[in-house]
Amino acid sequence: MHQFILQFLVILTSLASQTNAKQKQALALLSPIGSIRVHLDYVTPPNSFRLQYIAEKDQLAYWNDNDFSIIYFSLKTGKPVKKTFIEREGPNPNYSNNYLYVDDQTIYTNDVIGAIRQIDINGKSIKKHKNSDPSKINKLPDPMVWTGSPMTYHNSKLYFQVTIGGVFTQPTMAVLNLKTDQIDYFSGYPDFYKEAYWRGGFENIFYTFNPDKELFVFSYAADKNLTSISVKDLNGTNSHYASSPTYGNLKAPRKSMQSPGRKHDEMKFMTQPSFHMIHYDPYRKLYYRFAQDPISENDYYSKDSERSETKAPRIIILNEHLEVIGEKELPRFKYDINMSFVSPKGLCIKLKNNEAEDFIDFEALLWQKE
């Protein structure tokens, strides 16, 4: 009997060693291979939360809040190749403009409240589409579109995130049929969001689209799991574990809307792990899910804004079947993960060049198989 137990323990130890070896191997495979420098003019800010990689041209579309334009950068030269000024409508256009570049002819934006505009490549309005259907939902949503929750075009339909006052029981996504102007709603927060008050940052939603499998994959800031939804069945969901083994269980900042208030929620968010943006890599059939390590309460209450507002990122890598195959820890103050995208070169993340005003550097991290 003792000999059997001893053999069993040896087998367990061997399996654990193999698992650890595989994890270490996976950690080593996502490695920096170089950088991409994008050159800015004097009116283009070094930060934009609306980026889109255009594979057909190897270009980066970059939204400029300062002059209401989209700049197209060649990633081969780092130089701008085109700039489109978006035609404004009304006396007070929505400067938090969100866009989707589809092809050489069409851009979609939701800069006008209550409508999504179809715009030609020269910035002129072609057509308006409604962006909500009050007969199907009890509160009119506004599209919430940025790099982390991109407006997605697929088979003559636009998919986009909507915000509904932080009500965790409402749908979170809309699909607009561009041929019929019909709008439907789907997706929603995981059930545990409805049992407490997940604010301070935990309410954030991120997603990516896998066109090969026609699959949306959602990353909720408080959820260790990813949620996948096929466009063929918007009512069907699947859950996939996608956390770091270093993370414990997350706790909601409070049980209800009652006090202590917003600052307390933010502190609870910053001092716990959380999950962030997710990218699908069509070139290597991988997913990259950003996660963020907690900071200490001392850091949160410090007078140093960088220390109090910055969580160290890590990347959880998943294969095309949404199985975790490794993770990569990143330095705490080196990257701005809000400005990231995937290209043939790899996962590109903006480096924090705090003093640079005339260029942006993106570091490319590549998954390299042995």
Reported as a single tens digit per residue, the pLDDT across 25-66 is 444 478 889 999 999 998 999 999 899 999 999 999 999 988
- Residue with the bigger pLDDT between 335 and 163: it is 335
The rounded mean pLDDT for the chain is: 87
- The residue-averaged pLDDT of 122-150 equals 85
- 56 touches 45 (CB < 8 A): no
Residue 89 has a pLDDT of 77
- 127 touches 184 (CB < 8 A): no
**Rg (alpha carbons) of the chain, rounded to whole number:** 22
Amino acid at 242: A
- The residue-averaged pLDDT of 225-254 equals 96
Q: Which two tokens stand for residue 118?
A: 């179809």
Q: Any idea what the Cα angle at residue 191 is, between residues 186 and 194, rounded to 5°? A: 100
Amino acid at 288: Y
Q: Which two tokens stand for residue 316?
A: 């959880």
User: Cα separation of 348 and 341, whole Å?
Assistant: 5
Residues in the chain: 370
pTM (predicted TM-score): 0.90
- 106 touches 123 (CB < 8 A): no
For 276, other C-beta atoms within 10 Å of its C-beta total: 21
> What is the three-class DSSP state of 146?
strand
Amino acid at 196: A
Q: Which two tokens stand for residue 117?
A: 């505009």
Residues in contact with 213: Cβ distance below 8 Å, sequence separation at least 6, in sequence order: 230, 320
Residues in contact with 182: Cβ distance below 8 Å, sequence separation at least 6, in sequence order: 133, 176
Q: Which two tokens stand for residue 73?
A: 């950068």
